[in-house]
Chains A and B, each alone.
Chain A
Amino acid sequence: MMTLTLHSNPTAQWHALVNEAQVAADCQLNKELESYLVFVLMRFVDRPELAGRVFALDFLRGTLAIGRVRQTRLRDVGDQCLLYSGLFPEQAEHRHVSVHYFVDLGRTAYQELAARLEHDNAEIFAQLAKGFVTLMDVLLAMRTLGEKTRRLAPLSMLELAASTGSRYAYKLLRPDVTDGQADSNLFVDSSNSSRIKPH
């Protein structure tokens, strides 16, 4: 039976959902990343036009722009790639790319921001770049809360685990293995391969 989570306001509802997903994904975001994820979800929940975006073009336009426009575009690319990789990973297949493509593009956008912004802003975007796969795992767990049929197919899951180092995908493939026992050969250090590669 599905559990209804009711809270006094939408932000609290989203926080509760993100917390539940963190438990399911067996990971813990720090408070700032958790809040960032909540507000990204709230910002894009009523924006269906997201489905039509061409992220590579948006990324290029972002890198070619200057000042605030550049920052806004790169942030949007990072946020949207995060949502795509975690909430709509099957879209990768429709676009003839792998989920790793969204991870690389989104992480690169956040890294660009972290490299060019100052103090507080740089810190949050550096955290987002570093924790991109963990954030994706939380969203992957969120989409299957109470509805296990929405899980990716095992082969897609394997590819996700191998290409991005997703602990959640690995956990679903090998539910009998605890996190500390995960086969390290399966994972790549995707934080070191963060530049976009042709697909």
Chain B
Amino acid sequence: MTRHTLDARRLLCPMPVIRTQNKIKSLAPGDIVEVVCTDPGATNDIPAWCRMHGHAVIATETRSGEFIITVEVGKIAG
């Protein structure tokens, strides 16, 4: 299991989801990716996309105007 960070700051939805999808394609099941974004819409879009694709959102936090969504990659990446 490896930990990754994805910088999606300043990107408008749906770009954070697209970048998350592209990142997860290159990861293995069980890997963790922290998506850092500034568009509040991403806090709905990324968890919804994860639910559809079998990935788990294990934490969502806000730090000085930035949203950090931590995703554990599921069995079927992509």
Contact = CB atoms under 8 A, between A and B. Distances in A.
B21 A71 contact: no
Given A32-B18, A39-B45, A121-B12, 10 more contacts: A9-B53, A10-B52, A12-B78, A35-B21, A36-B14, A39-B17, A71-B12, A113-B12, A120-B10, A121-B15
Interface residues of B, number: 19
Interface of B: 10-15, 17-18, 21-22, 39, 41, 45, 49, 52-54, 76, 78
B45 to A, nearest CB: 8
Interface of A: 8-12, 32, 35-36, 39-40, 43, 68, 71-72, 75, 113, 117-118, 120-121, 124
Given A8-B76, A11-B49, A11-B53, A72 B12 contact: yes
Contacts of B41: 72
B78 to A, nearest CB: 8
